[in-house]
Amino acid sequence: MSEDHDHVIDTGKGTFSIDDLGPLMPGMAEIMPLVGARIWKCYYAGQARNRPLAAFQLKEAVNLMEKGAFLRPKYAENMDKFINEELAVVRKAIDSEDWDTFEAAFQAMVEAANAYHDVYDKPYLRWKIPEMPPPDLDMTPRG
Ligand code: HEM
């Protein structure tokens, strides 16, 4: 980068170079817990037969997964596969309000997610659906 294009970012509390942004971008360790929170909400929205909320939460989870794969390309191929296979079955069940299929597809999706954790040498990361609905969002369908 030439001297006159030295982009300095001023946070108001200090400054850093644009080159410092890369390592500051979130990785999977930061993004995955957010995915977990969205997937938790998706599940209980489905339990409550709340199609728009379940669809919204799943979409937000996908956005986070895509962001993770963009920032950490080594996960991109398997992330795409997961989104287009196991997760797509859940999405379809939500869209068609087929709640019996939703239940089975959701369990299969969680199994697949944990199998990917295994692939990345983290077999000790076994995500599970929390036993309680998320306390911060009303799951009741509207109108
Ligand atoms: C339903 C989908 C998924 C859920 C709910 C989920 C949930 C989580 C959670 C909560 C963590 C953090 C655990 C902790 O440190 O406390 C995690 C870590 C991780 N997940 Fe997932 N995950 C999902 C799918 C995937 C997929 C499809 C991949 C890869 C293709 C993946 C790759 C990873 C990796 C690499 C880590 C470790 C990050 C680190 O270095 O700390 N996950 N996952």
> What does the pLDDT profile of the chain (143 residues) look like in tens digits?
445 567 999 999 999 999 999 999 999 999 999 999 999 999 999 999 999 999 999 999 999 999 999 999 999 999 999 999 999 999 999 999 999 999 999 999 999 999 999 999 999 999 999 999 999 999 999 97
C-alpha of residue 100 to centroid of ligand 1, in Å: 26
* CATH architecture, range 27-119: Up-down Bundle (1.20)
Q: Cα–Cα distance between 88 and 81 in angstroms, integer?
A: 10
Q: Tell whether ligand 1 has an atom less than 6 A from the beta carbon of residue 54.
A: no
C-alpha of residue 124 to centroid of ligand 1, in Å: 11
Q: What is the pLDDT of residue 35?
A: 99
Q: Tell the residue nearest (CA) to atom 21 of ligand 1.
A: 32
Q: What is the pLDDT of residue 128?
A: 98
C-alpha of residue 32 to centroid of ligand 1, in Å: 5
Q: Tell the residue nearest (CA) to atom 15 of ligand 1.
A: 29
Q: Tell whether ligand 1 has an atom less than 6 A from the beta carbon of residue 64.
A: no
Neighbouring residues of 3: CB distance < 8 A, sequence distance ≥ 6? none
Nearest to 127 by CA among 39, 46, 47: 39
Q: Tell the residue number behind the tokens 């692939």, with chain if given.
A: 119
